[in-house]
Amino acid sequence: MTLEENLAHLPDLSSRPAVALETTVLTHGMPYPQNVECALACEDAIRKNGGEPYTIGIINGEIKIGLTKAEIEDLGKNMNAMKVSRRDLPYCIAKGLNGSTTVAATMILAKKAHIRVFSTGGIGGVHRGFNETMDVSSDLNEFAKTDVNVICAGPKAILDIPRTLEYLETQGIAVIGYKTKKAPLFYTSTSKYDLEQWADSPLELAKILHNNKVLGLNQGSLILNPVPSKYSLDADWVEERIEEAIKMMEKDNIHGKDVTPYLLSKLVGLTGGKSLETNMALIENNAALGGALAKELLGLEK
């Protein structure tokens, strides 16, 4: 199948309560079998809350909007997928490879199927040591280019948080707390960083996102949904482990797209599995909100 044919056959989900899910977290963000378990639990959480899940990825060079359970299991088990961000899409498709899509690439493909809501765990951001490495995830640029709304549990504490928030402000991207006025930091449900926007229900969130569309701003917004308090880890305890993981990374000379997967996997060991447990809980929690939000958004736009 040519890419043109592939694109022509993608579904138009504009009249469905569709929620996109990414696959980099499946192949590069978590170990097997928890990754597959988590991916399937997210699909269920979306359905239970009135939405329809569409896990997005690339199989043998073909874009898939809504991977089957068998495809999710295969991607999650074999780990031979390329981590595909914006710039990697043309390459992965041309070479006929399996590709797992990052937040940026999933937004691009979700948009092609007219999906408005996308639930994930964490987004990429400005990395610590940015002054030297210039490592800013292309996730952050995608919001200004692609109008898909992303739900995450806050920028990961492995990042430079103030600079990540500053960068989003520069790009004109709304960062909206869900039932919180402080930025959650992925593993922890709160922080000292104040937010300027928040919403207390899926309907209130939907109204804000709807206005964004009506105004023709043509961009995505970022919704920060704190991890349920039961799974929230102590910020100082996590910080010590992150610093250790970053030291190991420098020693192992890890760069570029390997940075995020490396840090996430080292943290699983350094936290005795606690980071993985929290990661799974927050992704599922975001999927649940995604389902409810997609349903409300569709209600407003019908």
How far are the Cα atoms of 108, 170, 217, 218, 274 from residue 144, in angstroms, in the given order? 12, 10, 9, 8, 34
* Cis ω for the linkage preceding 33 (within 30 of 0): yes
Query: What values do phi and psi take at 225, rounded to 5?
Result: -110, 110
Catalytic residue among 156, 266, 274, 295: 156
Q: Which does 23 bind (CB under 5 to 8 A by kind): Mn ion, ligand PSU, none?
A: none
Tokens 């009135």, residue located: 50
48 a catalytic residue? no
Measuring CA to CA, which residue among 291, 220, 265 is closest to residue 42? Answer: 291
Find the part of the chain contacting ligand PSU (CB under 6 A) among 17-25, 72-80, 187-195, 232-240.
17-25
Q: Which of 111, 128, 257, 274 binds ligand PSU (CB under 6 A)?
A: 257
Closest to ligand PSU by CB, 200 vs 243, is: 243
Q: Which does 25 bind (CB under 5 to 8 A by kind): ligand PSU, Mn ion, none?
A: ligand PSU
Counting Cα atoms < 13 Å in the Cβ hemisphere of 93 gives 20
Distance between CA atoms of residues 32 and 25, nearest Å = 11
Q: Does 219 bind ligand PSU (CB under 6 A)?
A: no
Query: What values do phi and psi take at 10, rounded to 5?
Result: -70, 145
Q: Which does 264 bind (CB under 5 to 8 A by kind): Mn ion, ligand PSU, none?
A: ligand PSU
156 a catalytic residue? yes
Residues 202, 176, 30, 113, CA torsion sign: positive
Q: Which of 219, 260, 275, 285 binds ligand PSU (CB under 6 A)?
A: 260
Q: Which does 297 bind (CB under 5 to 8 A by kind): Mn ion, ligand PSU, none?
A: none
> What is residue 126's DSSP assignment?
B
Q: Which of 135, 139, 147, 284 binds Mn ion (CB under 5 A)?
A: 135
Find the part of the chain contacting ligand PSU (CB under 6 A) among 3-11, 46-54, 86-94, 120-128.
120-128
Our measurement of the distance from residue 116's CA atom to the centroid of its chain's CA atoms, rounded to an integer in Å, reads 14
Find the part of the chain contacting ligand PSU (CB under 6 A) among 35-43, 56-64, 137-145, 291-299.
137-145
- Which residues are catalytically annotated? 22, 156
